[in-house]
Amino acid sequence: MRLTFDAEVERFRAEFVEFLTEHMPDEASALAERPVSSSEVPGWARDWQRTQFEHGWLLPGNPPEFGGRDASILQQYVHLEELSRRRIYHSFNPQGLGIVAASLLSFGTAEQKKNWAVRILRAEITASLGMSEPGAGSDLAGLRTRATRDGDDFVVNGQKVWTSGAHHADVLLTFVRTDPEAPKHKGISVLLIPTDTPGLTRRPFPSICGTRDVDFNEVFFENVRVPAENLVGPLNEGWKVANGSLGHERTMLWLSFADRMRCLIDDFEPRTVFDRDHYATLVMDNTALRLLGSAALARAARGEQDVAALSVLKLLGSEAVQSAAEHALDAAGADGLIDPAFTGPLHPLNHDNSVGSWFERYARSFAGTIAGGTSEIQRNIIAERVLGLPRS
């Protein structure tokens, strides 16, 4: 099964393909300067993102003044499909584009949209998400970083961790507790905090993938003064902003897993009977994900809301990628541990780690079962909202 589209959607696709043919960056320039974190965007990639913005192809679902063309959900899908087909990474500042700017467009003031969101979308600045804390990774309600109102400012004290790209970001969308007496899910607010603010310290650290993979950060706030005008959304209503922020991330998240599975299908080289069995499972999982994803997309195009179905897609996609990457690593034997290495052809407009060593590809697969809602959270949603099981 594959989705079919009407003439209007196919005209939209053809126009985008024409744009790509005319405007894609020079591959030699792209290969000469590679990004080193999720908020470090090379010059050529900034120019490329700005070109997409100016032509309405950055986020087609947005209105024209915010880099789009008011595209329908099916038009947005074929846009992502064409990017995937050409192995083009949408933005080398994914959280800035997909979460921070999107949250500002949903909850920010007119000034915040102009002064922050548009600049992020145009790649004039980059942004990271300050959400997770020590002891409060997936539990946003457990955050302890505090912001106290003092005249025209908030004074922020606390710590964040796992903050991707913070050492290269210009601003952090930061979740803070502004009413310590309120229940856990209440009293949370959101602040835009420039990273050059006095008292803000960023400490990058490497991941399991190796010492050269430095994207995560600890971020410390010591009496950091933030103008009250940088409050995003109403005071103490940060929980709503958080749900909206992650909602932007989750809408078509399944498509990214389908893309990774297709890459694994291309690069996985089964050698034994067991390897071929695992490879066949990967192919079937990919087909199942695309079938379920196509059905969910069709429902969304009809205006039907099915949030629980997204949990099924996220769980299936993330765990299928992880399982396949593990089996590909096993099939490669000792060679799979050689790092750095490339296990597929390098695509200049994509991340190098998408075809890194088999060990790296397997290690990175764990992020998929955590980011955007852990597998445990997805299973709870499915149990309660799909299967109708009791809470206890």
Give catalytic residue positions. Answer: 249
Residue pointed to by tokens 């913070």: 166
Closest CA to 283 of 295, 294, 268, 298: 268
* 8 A C-beta contact, residue 66 and residue 105: yes
CB atoms within 10 A of CB 164: 21
Which amino acid does the sequence have at 376?
E
Q: How many CA atoms lie within 13 A of 197 on its CB side?
A: 26
Residue pointed to by tokens 């038009």: 75
* 8 A C-beta contact, residue 216 and residue 205: yes
Structure-token pair, residue 15: 């126009």
Q: How many CA atoms lie within 13 A of 152 on its CB side?
A: 2
> How far is residue 197 from each of residues 170, 201, 312, measured CA to CA in Å?
10, 9, 41
Structure-token pair, residue 255: 């498509």
Structure-token pair, residue 298: 């069709």
